Chain A
Amino acid sequence: MSAEPVNYDQMIACPQCDGLSTKPLLKEGQKAVCKRCGGKVLERKRDPIRRTLAVALAGLLLLIPATILPLIGVSAVGLFNQASLLDCIAILIANDYYLIAISLTIFTLAVPVIRLLAALYISWCIRMQRITPALVHFFRSYHQLDSWTMLHVFLLGIMVSMYKLVALAELSVGLGLVAFILLLICSTLVSVTLDKHYIWEQLEAGCEY
């Protein structure tokens, strides 16, 4: 290990290639790329806290209609059936497909809900300047959730199913689908507006170990 006197608080490393560089001072809306691999090293987003608060709250409000209201329905020879997200899970459990039921619950319900709640809570705490050590652990767990939200995949699944069903029966679109699309937009916007670097800076400044 080289014993150079480096002030490593002023340094950042690229998460992709581990290249070291000095921490640039960014204005809101700017980002820095690694000179070695070209990947994004640092980004400062505009107005991260207030925007995240707004989007996360909207997402949580949409969550109830998106899960309870029917997404799509079919009718053939006078019979009609429609299903919401909760119905899908219930039917999978009834048919003993527990693994699929669990993955559907986790990826399209639990993870998005926890993610929105976490984004809301953390933004609110930072806005109110109520930073506790517990919040650090809390936000750390948040990072795990990003790659496991699959609302967008489920929406594509709805579209493919609709395409399949058009040939089979008369199709109807439920109000739940509208709420679901809006929820997806909110959930995606949270990852756009939430500035992880900014929040970590605030958390680190806010509590001394």
Chain B
Amino acid sequence: MENDDINLVVNATNTNAVTGGNVLDEGRVGTNGLQTKGIHVWFGKHHVLEDISLDFPANSVTGLIGPSGCGKSTFLRVLNRMHEFIPGAAMAGEVFLDGEEIYGPKVDVTAMRLKVGMVFQKPNPFPSMTIAENVLAGLKLANIKVQDKDSLLEECLTRAGLWKEVKDRLKLSGSSLSGGQQQRLCIARALAVKPKVLLMDEPCSALDPASTLKVEETIVQLSADMTIVVVTHNMQQAARVSDFCAFFLSDGGPGQVVEADRTAVIFSSPSDQRTADYVQGRFG
């Protein structure tokens, strides 16, 4: 029963969390999107995440919130196996993308990461490449041939909300842009390989408020046809952009999900007192 409590998608038999039960489209539930089951993570002997089971329905935005050090970013990295580059990191549990296990023995990790893109906390365009080359870098890295590069370039930059600002200087270095523009360039770069899922690790924490707003608009627009998971420390941001929220907390031990539900519920009538305290800014 405890697992069901922290399940994000609440199906018909579980009336525990979603009041009214009117939001979730039946079609979204099931094998579409991203599911995790019983995720544990260790760094060496240190147990950092304990038994996380969350479902991320297709074409929605899920915010991961919680105080620093509770394992949100680590959990995000488990979703595209980027945690494997951290020395000493180990995990247990299962992650399904559209019903297929991404930790399966026959999975090609690089091919899987094409489907699960990632945007990092600090904008990290490749400084040796131009703006256009940055957007198309993923294709080159994965050896994907595209017929019409120009239209893909325009499409990705438009979706990332950057096209108008850079269309006349596509040949300039990616590092010539401002921080906010660089972050949207990174989003465009992630979109070029047509991922089904986009993971974002505090994508706005290094940006000014105006740039933050633009990135948030981009997130909302993108969620029309992709699954987005965003880690954020900004409660207003979580309220503005996300459809669902999961509240992570570590009380000295490994991080756990205290509560996961529709964003409106998390912010208005959370079932756990700790969630209420956190979203109202009483700690963390």
A binds B: no
Interface residues of B (CB under 8 A from A): none
Interface residues of A (CB under 8 A from B): none
